[in-house]
Structure 1
Amino acid sequence: MNYPRECWYVAATIDEVGDNLVARRILGTPVLLYRLADGSVAALEDRCAHRPYPLSAGYRDGDRVVCGYHGCTYDPDGSCVLIPSQDNPPPGARVRAFPVHVSEPFVWVWMGTPGSARLRPPPATPELTSGDGWSSTGERRDVAAGFLLLHEHYLDLTNVFEMHAEMVPPGIEALPPLEEVEISEVSVSYARELPEAPLAPWEAAVSGLDSSEAFSRRETGTFVTPGLHRQTYTISGGDSPVFELVRLHGFTPQTPGSTRVFLQLAWRGTAVATDAGQRLTEVFHVMADRDSRVIETMQRCLDEDEPSRRYVNVKADRAAVRARRIVQSMIEEERGL
């Protein structure tokens, strides 16, 4: 496995989980999600304790789930409370229940050691929940690549000139080097300042700013946890931000070679266009399509490569290399190495 388990991952967005039974694969494990009568969310291993049949193929009985094979019935804590063919369930008949934390729009799930979840709360996403002038929108997609390739891709945006040239402000021909890289035991972040330049068409369309003026910009990227990547993009006029954009990626490994991506965009500004959400969705959906194709191609190349094949790193890879080391350290610690 190439992912740590002692970490919160996004299992779904809250709008995906209702009265229906939602099937997911998270860290190679089948997981069932459903909403309880009190509004909370339950997460169970999506396999009946009796036979290898998915509970998500069954049905609900109030807050309980009934297996569609033999009718074995489970409480939200995973305990089997009814087997129609006998008076009492066998001792210990249960499926694993996973800790869940809801912080809209995300439903987080803990796949690690039971009891450890309370010691490590999920990462905060204040731009999505605090109000304070922020608006947000999002989308989901599956990418046929390991989650680390996604983290590394978004920790190095020097590819923008080749992949997304229309996003670059006029007159900027290269990104400044990463002079600010902050590293801790569990996270890594970078920041760079861009020189003053006129607005790119997409910036003018969403920000409502005067396209004839020049603005400075600050860009940051953070490997927050293995399950979350955070980017910010701030356009400033004078000494004050006039438009702020936050791009959050929930990266949830499904298998070592596939990842479900939860993209959330949040924005605010002094003169934001009324249709900014629609425009941002269109722009970043196209970007994500291109990114996904490249990242999936890299995964196919890695699958085809000889195990001894190595690639070189360059200066722009500083944050990405450190993120990989953090993940490797977490995996080794879990394995007791």
Structure 2
Amino acid sequence: MSYPKNSWYVAATRDEMGEVANDFLARRILDTPVVLFRLSDGSVAALEDRCAHRPYPLSAGHREDDLVVCGYHGCTYDATGRCVRVPSQDTPPLGAQVRAFPVVERGPFVWVWIGTPGGERLRPPPSTPWLQGDGWSSVGERRDVAANLLLLHEHYLDLTNVFAMHAEMVPPGIEALPPLEEVEVSELSVSYVRELPKAPLAPWEAQVSGLDSVESFGRKETGTFVTPGLHKQTYTISGADGPELELVRTHAFTPESAGATHVFLQISWRGTAVSPEAGEQLAAVFHEMADRDTAVLETVQRCLDEDPPSRRYVNVKADRAAVRARRIIVSMVEEERGI
């Protein structure tokens, strides 16, 4: 196991689930088949996507209101996972049940707990107020990346790759990112802060912000490993009177397996003179970035899969935050294994 199970992970977006009772959404999460569906009261239910009678996906069946009917023999389940009907006999077998997973819907995300039953009460889903109003607007997308959860966290905790991978994002005149001087570590999170020198706007910054591209602005960048399932990065462009444009790039990382991850990306923004087309512009810019990130991460995963177990790679100063996040994830996995 290369990821902790005792953590909240995003199973789907609100848009994927729809606003009313709908069909099934099947997704593999933490090597577990899960079927999600919205109930008539508006809440979302999540069940293990296997019939208790035979190994057949419940998502291949159909709904009867808030009941799930297996498409193999017709065994029927309620939203708690309890089998309430077996067509071939009067009453269901004692203990016929599939696991129901705790679900929390907050902002654009539907969070699910696949870990130890009851553990969800001790560790609530992370708060994401920037995704829920207060002057913020957001656009998002979902993609599957054939790379391990750890690789994704490490990638986004070290943005020094921007010069090699995303040169068009760099403000004119900035040739290197300042070193990470502030890395804050708690028991379960890691964050860093980086201040950039004043510089004119890059074309994409001018396009989105509506600011004068001739002036120079300061920038502040932060990155936070919030939980194994969530990474937050902020980017603030400031003028003489304070912040002019605030951006938050939110990545919800949900392991599908040891070598594959569901990525739920949200780009949020607010500013003083933001372009009316900012959402469309930001979506295009960060989609292209994500395409390149995905290609590199999947290549790194393939190389790791091909490498002998003895192969080792070195760390550099820019890896300070990434190394600490890795330690947290490894510690959580070892704790779950009882090591």
Give the structure-2-normalised TM-score.
Answer: 0.98
Cα deviation for residue 277 of structure 1 reads 0.3
Per-residue deviation at 1:124?
A: 0.7
Residues 1:90 and 2:93 aligned together: yes
Output the CA distance in 2 between the equivalents of 1:52 and 1:133.
48
Partners in 2 of 1:124 and 1:132 — Cα distance? Answer: 14
Displacement of 1:17 in angstroms is 1.3
Deviations 1:234-260 (A, max 9, x none): 000025101000000000000000001
Whether 1:101 aligns to 2:104 is yes
In structure 1, how many angstroms separate the alpha carbons of the residues matched to 2:140 and 2:305? 30
The 5 A counterparts of 1:161-200 are 161-200=163-202
**Match of 1:280?**
282
- For the residue of structure 2 that corresponds to 1:272, the secondary structure is coil
| Number of the residue aligned with 1:121 | 124
Q: Map residues 23-172 of structure 1 onto 2, 5 A cutoff.
A: 23-129=26-132, 131-172=133-174
Distance 1:15 1:89 in 2: 35
- Tell me the amino acid that sits aligned with residue 63 of structure 2: R
Of 313, 318, 324, the match for 1:322: 324
1:214 aligns with 2:210: no
Structure 2 stretches lacking a partner, 5+ long:
none
Residue correspondence of structure 1 range 219-230 to structure 2 within 5 A? 219-230=221-232
SS in 1 for 2:308: coil
- C-alpha displacement of 1:151: 0.4
Q: Which whole-Å deviations, capped at 9, do the CAs of 1:19-66 have from their partners, x for residues lacking one?
A: 110000000000000000000000000000000000000000010100
CA distance in 1, matches of 2:245, 2:153: 25
What is the rounded CA distance, in whole Å, between the counterparts of 1:69 and 1:268 in structure 2?
51
Aligned sequence identity (%): 76
C-alpha displacement at 1:164, in angstroms?
A: 0.2
How many Å apart are 1:177 and its aligned residue? 0.1
Q: What CA distance in whole angstroms lies between the structure 2 residues aligned with 1:274 and 1:14?
A: 24
| Distance in 2 of aligned mates of 1:282 and 1:203 | 13
Distance in 1 between residues matched to 2:134 and 2:329, nearest whole Å:
33
Q: One-letter code of the match for 1:50?
A: H
- DSSP-derived class of the 1:287 partner: helix
User: Which ranges in structure 1 are unaligned for 5 or more consecutive residues?
Assistant: none
The size of the alignment, in residue pairs, is 336
Name the aligned partner's letter for residue 34 of structure 2: V
Distance in 1 (CA, whole Å) between partners of 2:190 and 2:122 is: 21
| 1:2 equivalent in structure 2 | 2
Task: Determine the C-alpha separation between the residues in 2 that align with 1:120 and 1:63.
Answer: 28
1:197-219 CA-partner distances (Å, limit 9, x unpaired): 00000000000111110000000
Q: Which amino acid in 1 is paired with 2:71?
A: G
Off by >4 Å, runs of 4+ in structure 1: none
In 1, Cα distance between equivalents of 2:211 and 2:269: 14
Which residue in 2 is equivalent to 1:20? 23
Deviation at 1:70, TM superposition (A): 0.2
Please report how far the alpha carbon of residue 115 of structure 1 lies from its aligned counterpart in structure 2 after TM superposition.
1.1
- What is the match of residue 231 of structure 1? 233
CA distance in 1, matches of 2:117, 2:134: 36
In structure 1, the partner of 2:206 is 204
Q: What RMSD over aligned residues (CA atoms) do the two structures have, in Å?
A: 0.6
Shift of 1:15: 1.3
